[in-house]
Structure 1
Amino acid sequence: MTDRVVARYWIETAFPLADAAATMAGEQSTGTFVRTPGESDELRERHAARVEEVEEIGAVATPSLPGSGLPRSGESVRRAAYVTLSWPIENFGASLPNLLAAVAGNLSELKAFSGLKLLDLQLPPIFLDSYRGPQFGVAGTRRLAEVWDRPLIGTIIKPSVGMSPEATAEQVKLLLSAGVDFIKDDELQADGPHCPFDQRVPAVMRVIRDHAERTGKKVMYAANLTGEIDEMLARHDLVLREGGTCVMASMNAIGLPAMKVLRAHSQLPIHGHRNGWGMLGRSPAIGMSFIAYQKLWRLAGIDHTHVNGIDNKFCETNESVIASARECLTPMFPAPYKGCEVMPVFSSGQSAKQAPASYAALGSADCIYAAGGGILGHPSGPAAGVRALQQAWEAAMAGVPLADAAKEQRELRDALATFGA
């Protein structure tokens, strides 16, 4: 189905499953609640969404969401199922906003469903005619950071807000001396009056340039340029003039069209922050999975995106985290089309102890491994915290148990004692 968009859903309904699936297809293509004069057989044949598959899961005891209805038959048993629909690309063209209206528009409001969630998308390569996808991705990020055979060890400027540009630069100076590969602004800090972007970035880049002149290593700093489109383009240009090697944008805050514009303008990797994704992904009964979500943003042009982390401080399961990370490294399109792979970013309560499980589950070192407390909270200081993370990943990649590696490496031993083996 190279000329069709395919979407897979989880649904919950008291209606016959085939009828419920047909309702989904009709609502999001040619149909409405009654047959209209303009809905000819020929038009339906060409433009109607198709039900490709319905796979029943089983009965559910209670409705997952309020407000759902029952069929006129009086049937009250609700069942869950997987439903796959497809649309002809000519319904909306190679347009992500209009694609989103089709695959995730009014569906979640339909009264026939007490649960409905978008799980995955398969898109035809024609989208690459309209969208550039990642400009740097994994290989370009590694080239700029000059880190080749292990994860990029990263961290976040904390506290998230409240520091002046000068205080922010001082913290970055400390992190640079610790040996990190990647530093990012917090998503809460973009252009606040207490720390304006056009003052913060020059202050931070001065210390990064000084460090690079002394050591030969330019650390990647993802400056949060989130804002209106014209503001973001101007902020990108400031980062570029200052010698920066990355910019960051909050994806949900700016939207897909703005990301497309930023990608077309950018000469730097775009660190896509997913803050707000929990509103879409946390409930098992509504919204969309990160698997589907990240495909939209990869096409729009991000180069990195957060996937949470193993045993994270949030509510996401390890299985979901790893599935998301693997998907970021999985090509979206078959050869000879480019794959649009992006760098997954592990974060949220990460320390040396999660490195073996992260590597074993991901099967790759292609990631940014970001730790805040896992670096700054090390009892011997940030440099020991960075070294402990490097040691943990070296051991994991060599197949050496952390406990054995820690016998010979004090930084790792102290990290495991502090953060838990």
Structure 2
Amino acid sequence: MFRGVAQMEIGPLIKLHRIKQNMTQEDLAAGIVSESYLSKIENQKTDASPEVIALLCERLGIQLNAENEDMIKEKAEEWFALLYDAHSREERDAKYQELEQLFKNSNSDYEILFEIHKIRYYLLRNENEKTKEQIEKLTNLEYSFDTRQSFFWNKYLGNYYQNYEDDNVKALQFYKMAEALIKKIELAETDIADIHYTLAVTHTRLINDLKSIEYANKALDVFRQNYNFVRCAQCHIILGICYRRVHMIDMAIKQYNLAQHLGEITENSEVIQLSNHNLGYLHSTLGESDEAIKYLEKAYEMGSNFTTTQITTTISLIKEYYNSERIDEAKMVLEKNYSLVKELPAHSKKLFKLEMDVYKYAIYQDYNKLEHTIINEFLPYLEEKSDYANIVTYSNMIGEHFEKLKKYKNAANYYKMASLNYQKLLKV
């Protein structure tokens, strides 16, 4: 019999390889079995004879005799771990290539789990099209997933909808399905902590602060016990955001400072940058412009790559310079970074481009373009995304603009929009 692959699990593996090779059922079945019988094999509705399985595998160019199953499992688990903690891209890529070759030469039960983890791998590499293609391929196999496979499948679908579709509601649905499976399988406590952290992030984005605090603390307990200081720092940042929103300012500052301290211990520049950014934003919301600029400048100067964190910091710094009437400094940062927005992934580009456009027109006093961009492009986009916080910010901004021009009726309309959306924000 076929070592390493259970008889009733051969069908999904055959289907997986057929899909990967862009073969139809007709192509694979020709001269071996009928298409309907192949369909039953792939869908685990029959046990085919070893002879039939051998012929199908020969046509696919695969072997189902994983005598080195334990070695494959060990190497696969090592690569899965590299997808979570801070590791170099080169290390992840090298392990990935090694596993790809292993599965070409000797398939095993771990192959489907490996294919599911490719979703996260492509997400980390910002390969949007490959991520979509991988999800489409695996959707055809979803019915055959065991509980462990289903856990990671739902988790990574959540990652996809959160990071590429910007749909946190749908992401939360998948994360909850993954969470519901935790008690049915054996998972490392760090895997459980990671889904709790992911749920904390999602609840934060949906402004469900109490839920976010609950999940962040669950994750923090595990990461602290495992001395994973980078993940601890990430939890502290989430907690800081939540405490700021519920106006527990001292607690928020404490969380950000803890994150910054852990970032310094681990020499993790991303954590330090994010801590400074959030401290800057906190002081900005308190109207403490000098303190806000101090922290935002630190975060801005740390950014070597034009990441999402870096552009968020850049826009926040431009806003603070503009609001403090430090126009020359605002112009300098804007001109240095304006064109770099084009380098961002398409899924995150629109929001940042619109924000950069708004401040460009405001700084250079191009009021016709400012009005058109906020009224006809930005506010409709924010309404579509139910981004109440930014609607409040930019409807107030255009309201103040019209008030300065003594267009009081227009100003009143946008102040009213800000007020209504502030009320919606409080109800979220």
Relative to the length of structure 2, the TM-score reads 0.28
Q: Which has the higher contact order (CA 8 A, sep 6+)?
A: 1
As a proportion of its length, which structure holds more strand?
A: 1
As a proportion of its length, which structure holds more helix?
A: 2
Relative to the length of structure 1, the TM-score reads 0.29
Bigger Rg over Cα:
2
